[in-house]
Amino acid sequence: MTNSGNIHKGWFSEICPMWEGIAVSLKVEKLLYSKKSRFQQIDLYQTRSHGRMLVLDGIIQLTEQDEFSYHEMMAHLPLLSHPNPEHVLVVGGGDGGVLREINRHDDVRFIDFCEIDQEVVNVSKQFLPSIACGFNDPRVTVHIRDGAAFVRECSGCYDVIIVDSSDPVGPGEILFKSQFYRDLKHALKPGGLIATQGENFFLHPDWVEKLMGVTRSLFPIYAYANIIVPTYTGGHIGICMGSLGPKLTAPARPVPQMLQSQLKYYSPEVHRAAFVLPYFAEKILKDKGV
């Protein structure tokens, strides 16, 4: 392997200052791709046990073994919270996984997708076709540009906006700013809702407090959901959700059996359970007025 990242004796370790003193390690067999794009370092590995793994700036974005848990919840939680999601925007998520899940919804008519780094899309299409198949749907319009600037130019356009961002370092940092959340609200239709990557309340309670505090200040209805993702540091990640009308903690409509049969993680029961937080996390949010 020529990559000089966090590789030692055939093991990749995700070592990041954002989560000091803890790492996730996977045995890797081969480095399939390694290149620095205009925005970030992109690495694609074949792992021993988890299939292919996409890494950006040394941080695991997905593995083929468990990506479905994140992508299903990021897509179906907001889409099934909305009574009629026809116009959808996805910001980030250049691997196409969230798009793949949105495409399962026949009632969605238009999907705008905005990603800053074309190279992530290209690599995903080449090495992760079962995930990047999300780009193949004719309802998808791809915009390769800065997501924050794209959202800023929208007004009352979308029923649902999903922000599949990386962590608040590098090109994803701007997607965690208060102004971006204000722009997201402005881009929604009446009764619309947002779902954004909400970090990990074990590792980043401060970020969870901040993001939910901003969401609470802007939306009359808000909630924080929890997803189990074994190969993310800490074993889980959250979703911050804000709504201009629909309730969030239960599906707004029945889940079609054809859709449910295609899924591995999401179900109506999991939808409701995702918002039940451990006592310490619930207390963090309540103590901060969230």
The burial class, CB within 10 Å (0-12 / 13-18 / 19+), for 205 is middle
| Domain match, 210 and 72 both | yes
159 contacts 88 by C-beta, under 8 angstroms: yes
| Domain match, 149 and 126 both | yes
Known binder of ligand: residue 271? no
CATH value at residue 210: 3.40.50.150
User: For the stretch 238-250, what's the b/e string if a residue is b when 16 or more beta carbons lie within 10 angstroms of its beta carbon?
Assistant: bbbbbbbbbebbe
The number of CA neighbours under 13 Å toward the Cβ of 227 is 28
| Domain match, 15 and 155 both | no
| Domain match, 143 and 216 both | yes
Pairwise CA distance, residues 219 & 201, whole Å = 21
Structure tokens at 118: 């074309």
Q: Report the run of H or E that residue 25 belongs to, with start and end.
A: strand 24-36
129 contacts 98 by C-beta, under 8 angstroms: no
Per-residue pLDDT band at 20 (split at 50, 70, 90): confident
| Domain match, 54 and 187 both | no
CA nearest to 178, candidates 145, 219, 233 = 219
- Is the pLDDT at 5 greater than 90? The verdict is no
Query: Residue 1: its pLDDT value, please?
Result: 37
Annotated catalytic residue, options 164, 183, 206, 287: 164
CA nearest to 104, candidates 137, 131, 141 = 137
Under DSSP, is residue 146 helix (H, G, I), strand (E, B) or coil? coil
Q: How many domains does the chain have?
A: 2
CA nearest to 190, candidates 213, 156, 146 = 156
231 within domain boundaries: yes
| Domain match, 252 and 130 both | yes
Known binder of ligand: residue 262? no
Under DSSP, is residue 198 helix (H, G, I), strand (E, B) or coil? coil
| Domain match, 32 and 84 both | no
1 within domain boundaries: no
CATH value at residue 27: 2.30.140.10
User: Of 20, 35, 63, which marks where a domain is finished?
Assistant: 63
Known binder of ligand: residue 165? yes
The 3 state secondary structure assigned to 42-106 is EEEEEECCCCEEEEECCEEEEECCCHHHHHHHHHHHHHCCCCCCCEEEEEECCCCHHHHHHCCCC
| Domain match, 25 and 12 both | yes
Residue type, 83: P
Structure tokens at 202: 């074990």
Rounded to two decimals, what is the model's pTM?
Answer: 0.95
Per-residue pLDDT band at 170 (split at 50, 70, 90): low
174 within domain boundaries: yes
Which is it for the CA torsion 89, 121, 118, 211, positive or negative?
Answer: positive
Known binder of ligand: residue 95? yes
Structure tokens at 115: 């990603």
Per-residue pLDDT band at 173 (split at 50, 70, 90): low
Q: 44-67: per-residue pLDDT in tens?
A: 999 999 999 999 999 999 999 999
Known binder of ligand: residue 166? yes
Query: Residue 17: its pLDDT value, please?
Result: 85
194 within domain boundaries: yes
| Domain match, 53 and 118 both | no
Segments forming the whole domain that contains residue 263: 67-287
| Domain match, 35 and 122 both | no
251 within domain boundaries: yes
The verdict on whether 164 is a catalytic residue reads yes
Task: Provide the β-strand partners of residue 116.
Answer: none
- Residue in the block written with tokens 């390690």: 25
2 within domain boundaries: no
| Domain match, 137 and 59 both | no
| Domain match, 19 and 84 both | no
Query: Residue 107: its pLDDT value, please?
Result: 96
196 within domain boundaries: yes
User: Of 42, 63, 84, which marks where a domain is finished?
Assistant: 63
Per-residue pLDDT band at 90 (split at 50, 70, 90): very high
254 within domain boundaries: yes
User: Of 63, 85, 110, which marks where a domain is finished?
Assistant: 63
The answer for 259, left when phi > 0, alpha when psi is -120 to 50, beta otherwise, is alpha
